[in-house]
Amino acid sequence: MTTDRPAPARRLRADAEANLDRVLRAAEDVFAEHGIEASIELVAQRAGLGLGTIYRRFANKDALIAELVNRLLTDVVAVGERHLADPDGTGVAGYLIEVSGLLATSRGVVARLWSDPSSKDLIARSRRVQQQLVDEARRHGAARADLTGEDLAVALWAVHGILDVTRHLPVNAWRRHLDFVLAGLTDQPATAPHRPLSARKMTQIIRATPPASGGRRD
């Protein structure tokens, strides 16, 4: 007499899912610390898994990066679509604050977030929802008349740049920058609630920033 045994198959699927989670978390950490130039061997070492485990799921490092990019961009688009329901056209501010927070906690692949070849459809959705947020804000008088969806994208690029420069230091310089960005969205007076960087902290950031590769330094 034979007996069906579905449990082992379920355990294998659970193991595969757990391994995928370990790989993605390790890749995010490694790329955040060392840039996306870091090797997939380093990712495997951080995950505590063999290279074969990674290559069974991802053909190469670009495929791994694309998975991280698309997961993050899916979250970014979902944030924008959710904030379209905010009352009185206030979704722009909530969108920029929440997405900037996502970028701050997912720094590993932000450099490829809006340029990865695998993300064309998501990028189009992201740009569409940014314009919809702006249109809704302008309709309610919650944004200046010349604000565009592209302005939101540029604001997020600026946040990414600040995060990149300060990635090795425990500072939130991007938050105060975003205060001023949000203040500039309307014609109404506004304040910046987050404290500025001290002169000492700014000096620390400058000293910790590596020089650009390939450039001449006089």
Is residue 17 within 8 A of residue 9, CB to CB? The reply is no
Q: What is the CATH number of the domain that holds 156?
A: 1.10.357
Positive or negative: CA dihedral 146, 152, 153, 157: positive
Indicate the helix (H) or strand (E) that contains 139. helix 120-139
Say yes or no: 76 and 156 in one domain.
Answer: yes
Tens digit of each residue's pLDDT (9 = 90 or more) over 95-112? 999 999 999 888 778 778
Dihedral, 101, 45, 169, 164 alpha carbons, nearest 10: -60
Say yes or no: 85 and 118 in one domain.
Answer: yes
Say yes or no: 47 and 108 in one domain.
Answer: no
- Whether the pLDDT of residue 169 is over 80: the answer is no
User: Could you tell me the residue range of the domain that residue 146 belongs to?
Assistant: 68-208
pLDDT of residue 41: 95
Separation of alpha carbons 96 and 126, rounded Å: 12
Separation of alpha carbons 39 and 143, rounded Å: 44
Q: What is the DSSP letter of 108?
A: G
- Whether the pLDDT of residue 42 is over 70: the answer is yes
- Domains: count for the chain: 2
pLDDT of residue 215: 41
